Amino acid sequence: MPRLLLLILIWVPSMSLAAPYSIVIHGGAGTILRDKMSADVESDYRRVLSSAVKAGHAVLAQGGTSDDAVIKAILVLEDSPLFNAGHGAVFTHEGTVELDASIMRGDDLNAGAVTGVKRVRNPILLAQQVMLNSPHVMLMGQGAEDFAKLQGLELVDNSYFHTERRRRQLQRVIDSNQAVAASEDSSDEFEVQKFSTVGAVALDQQGNITAGTSTGGMTNKRYGRIGDSPVIGAGTYADNQACGISATGHGEYFIRAAVAHDICARVKYQGIDLRTAADAVINDKLIQLGGDGGIIGIDPKGNVVYTFNTPGMYRASIDTSGHLDVQIFR
């Protein structure tokens, strides 16, 4: 009996020392209203969000890296036609799809990004390869696709990304003489205005934070327009000493405000908590500029934050206690 008691006393403390880990994802922010979304569409979104966050969390639970967890979650979102990233991304004015993505890790501040790619099936994988296997941070267009070939990534015809729903959306925007579609919309067919991103932020058991973001940009975009998603410090940022951030919204404003970096800098240098820092940037600074959107974030303790100044944001998380949270509306 004394020997058994000794074993219990040794074993129990070891269990309590398990390092925290958590993950949070988003699928875009905007005018997402409950009364404009059918029950079936809402169910579809909740199902994919849940699948994506669970896929990333499974990596963390097995002791995997935050890099791999973020990639795993974003791949689910890129492969779903529901979100503006990968398959199902929005059209440019010319009727093609151009994709952007970025990833950053907080231990060494290494990062990779791609923009304007048209044939890479999963842009987040290419961003990861830029981070891991090149001396650069951002590659664009044909050069990025040439690099993708060298890394053995899957290339597809641009038609792989096309969906009829997005084509109807482009036509509506053109017919309404809008320059671009600049907000998320919750109608069942998503034919009005919709741009967004997908993203994920994770903290692993080694204490490392990684953030990643992927997007098709704005409907009807022209002239090689690039938003915040591939811009490190605007749409994506991670620092183990502060936080990890993935953003979604009107990219031009997020670039001007350096949203992702600004939030992390406030946490790091002002000593304020992540929620307070995010609220100051998203609900004050960004609004003053005229921008809308939101962020997801995680701090070094694994605390999860969603902050947005729009009626809704597709989002999900699994916190340090293992609690699953999937939300769409405010």
- Provide the annotated active-site residues: 197
Place of tokens 């990534």: 153
Task: Identify the DSSP state of 28.
Answer: E
Whether residue 106 contacts residue 267, with contact meaning beta carbons closer than 8 Å, is answered with: no
Backbone angles phi, psi at 12, to 5 degrees: -60, -50
Q: Which of 205, 288, 214 is nearest to 247 (CA)?
A: 214
Distance in angstroms (rounded) separating the CA atoms of residues 228 and 286: 14
Distance in angstroms (rounded) separating the CA atoms of residues 130 and 120: 13
CA distance to 3, 33, 60, per residue, from 69 (Å)? 40, 30, 6
Whether residue 104 contacts residue 237, with contact meaning beta carbons closer than 8 Å, is answered with: yes
